[in-house]
Structure 1
Amino acid sequence: MPLPIGTTKDCRLYCDYAQLVKLQSQTTGFTLLPQLKSGTALSGRHTSLFRGRGLNFEELRHYHQGDDIRNLDWKVTLRTGKPHVRCYTEEKDRHVIVCVDQRSNMFFSSVEMMKSVVAAELAALIGWRVLKDNDRIGLVLMQGEQLDWREAQRSQNHWLQRLQMLAEANQSLNVRSDDNSLSGFSALLHLLGRMKLRNTTLIVLSDWTGITEADLNRFKLLQQHNDVLGVMISDPLEHALQPTIIEHQRTGKLPCSFSWTVGNGNKQLHLSQAQLVSASKGLSASQQLKKDQLVNLMAAKHLPLIELDTRGEHLSQFIRAAGGMA
């Protein structure tokens, strides 16, 4: 359930619907429009180099084996004595689906802002940018017990409704939140497979908890006819505990010998200093493995893996990354 009416929201813990709407004013600093060939990064109808029988004439060139003879320019062919064809650019609607993770694993931060808030605000920003480009935007919510999906539309009212649902899902998270398999990556990929997507841009905003090798292979299959852009949201503490421990010892926040007690709201675990160092190494190795797998997935379409953190600078981080791709 969302927060009770009248409850003051800490913007670091929960996103606010009004704030998601206000992000519409921040779409001028970047663009998701491609300037690349169709089928590559973020391809779509804008400045598309997809060759076909479109309305816009592109060039006149010599005939090559396999060219459509219906595109032969007979006047030029007769005048030059060599066959020439007329080439066109084809305009295509761009269909963008944002998959935003609002599961319990996203309700975490050791610094400024919850990963769930980072994902929600970024989803809103992307949606407003897509609508500004007059394209269709859809949103898949990965939340507690289920996935929530509505058909993508080119409608501001539709997007406002989706943002309201996103805000409610975000505000329902707490330390006792739990998930099931119906909201994980396997269920997400099953849903996307049923849609039979073609020429769609999929943007996944998550910390990618629970991703398996089989899931990554299914993402690769989706990339045969679509573009998949991965955004990895992580917290500094998830990469390694050791630097945090050393920094706290240096500043006097921790004694030279210490132990930690960690919990998830239901269970607690007591770690000695030696156990904590060992856990830090394992955590760092696990995080690097997940990152390497995602980098390989993105490399199939020459896309970068965009990495964002919870320090509160996620919007500017993404805008810089998007500017590099546009």
Structure 2
Amino acid sequence: MSPLLSPPSPELDDAQLALLANYAKHLGRAPKAIRFALQTGERRSRQKGHGMEMLELRAYQASDDLRHIDWRVTARTGQAHTRLYAQENDHQRLLLLDLSSAAYFGTRHTFISTRFIQLAGIIAWRSKQKGDTLSYRMTYGREEHASNKSGTLPTLLNQLKEASQLKHRADGSNPNSIWSNGQLANTSLIGKSHNKDVIILTDKQHWSASEDAALMQLAQHNRVHWVQIFDSNAYNLPPGQYPMASHRGIQQITISQQSMQQAKAAFLSDNARLREKLASMGIRHQLFDLTESPEKIARYLLSQGALH
């Protein structure tokens, strides 16, 4: 079996994180129509110049470069218009990784936390390879890290390695959402993010109603992609007693067919509400099973224009 799909340990080391660079390099390319597709009220990173893909034609603004006035349209309409261009190798990306204590679990191949961390590593390597600007914030256990500086790939990889450590399962989960209510959330990293591809990686399905406004603001000014990973096999375990590890330690859990059905129904119901809420904000949500490789999930993000 592929070491990417089923690593030797859910705790990743430097060598495993370094190997993700090769998978990132061979993801392929997103279709041009996807890369430059825009939603209402959304703007891609702009760069004015010749020989690049034209992004839009709009009325002249005082800050525009006079060299890029479209004189034909200006003469035809009687109003000055400017051509704006999209520079393919200058994309702004914000990665938000939020792991609950329940993510440090899995019945096949590896843990949910490990799959998220592998995916985050591929995103980080791909951004570096394409020359994209990557900011990030991550929370796991009691830890919270963030950066909006360039050249932080080694630091990010070290933090991802630390995030894979199973000791964080015992620390519980950060009750705050990753986009608000943290000491780092009101800085320019998130509070002032505009014109970025925002990738949210989390197993969480709930947040307080008071945090809706912050998420709506993030989605209003950026294109947000929400990736969720779950273990479908966890709802198909045979009846019996199982030792389960959580932040409360090892406990013996009795599982019956009825309890499995109830747990699955509750998850699907919560997930349907989550999907509906995110859709109302214009956020793209995709649910993946633990058995799917991080390379496949990264290719999905590529097809949606979140990666390039």
TM range (shorter): 0.7 to 0.9
Deviations 1:232-282 (A, max 9, x none): 1111146xx2xx25xxxxxxxx5xxx5445633344443444344333332
Q: Which residue of 1 aligns with 2:28?
A: 30
Contact in 1 for aligned 2:42/2:195 (Cα 8 Å): no
TM-score by length of 2: 0.74
CA distance in 1, matches of 2:297, 2:269: 24
Contact in 2 for aligned 1:54/1:88 (Cα 8 Å): no
Q: AA paired with 2:194?
A: R
- Alignment match of 1:201 (pick from 192, 197, 201): 197
CA distance in 1, matches of 2:177, 2:79: 53
Q: Does 1:14 align with 2:11?
A: yes
Deviations 1:187-214 (A, max 9, x none): 5666333322222322111112443444
Q: Does 1:89 align with 2:87?
A: no
SS of 1:306 mapped into structure 2: strand
Larger Rg: 1
Q: Does 1:49 align with 2:50?
A: no
CA distance in 2, matches of 1:14, 1:225: 36
Contact in 2 for aligned 1:94/1:135 (Cα 8 Å): yes
Q: Which residue of 1 aligns with 2:289?
A: 309
Q: AA paired with 2:270?
A: S
Higher relative contact order (CA 8 A, sep 6+): 2
Q: AA paired with 2:112?
A: K
Q: Does 1:289 align with 2:284?
A: no
CA distance in 2, matches of 1:186, 1:284: 24
- Alignment match of 1:147 (pick from 144, 148, 156): 144
Kindly report structure 1 stretches of 4+ aligned residues shifted beyond 6 Å: 38-42
| Deviating more after overlay: 14-23 vs 286-295 | 286-295
Deviations 1:135-176 (A, max 9, x none): 2112212111131112331x2xx2012101210221244653
Counterparts in 2 of 1:109-124, with a 5 A limit? Answer: 109-124=106-121
Q: Give the 3 Å change call, closer, same or farther, for CA 267–194 of structure 1 in structure 2.
A: same
CA distance in 1, matches of 2:230, 2:65: 43
Q: AA paired with 1:225?
A: H
TM-aligned CA deviation for residue 90 of structure 1: 4.6
Q: Give the 3 Å change call, closer, same or farther, for CA 36–55 of structure 1 in structure 2.
A: farther
CA distance in 1, matches of 2:107, 2:219: 34
Contact in 2 for aligned 1:120/1:166 (Cα 8 Å): yes
SS of 1:179 mapped into structure 2: coil
Q: Which residue of 2 aligns with 1:218?
A: 214
CA distance in 1, matches of 2:261, 2:164: 33
Q: Does 1:163 align with 2:142?
A: no
CA RMSD of aligned residues (A): 3.4
TM-score by length of 1: 0.71
| Deviating more after overlay: 23-32 vs 119-128 | 23-32
Q: Which residue of 1 aligns with 2:50?
A: none
Q: Percent of aligned positions with the same letter in both sequences?
A: 18
TM-aligned CA deviation for residue 87 of structure 1: 2.4
Q: Does 1:179 align with 2:180?
A: no
TM-aligned CA deviation for residue 311 of structure 1: 0.8
Q: AA paired with 1:133?
A: K
Deviations 1:210-233 (A, max 9, x none): 434443432111122222221111
Going by fraction, where is helix more abundant, 1 or 2?
A: 1
Q: AA paired with 1:293?
A: K
SS of 1:164 mapped into structure 2: helix
Number of equivalences: 279
Which structure 2 residue ranges, 5 or more long, are not aligned? 1-5, 48-52
TM-aligned CA deviation for residue 24 of structure 1: 1.8
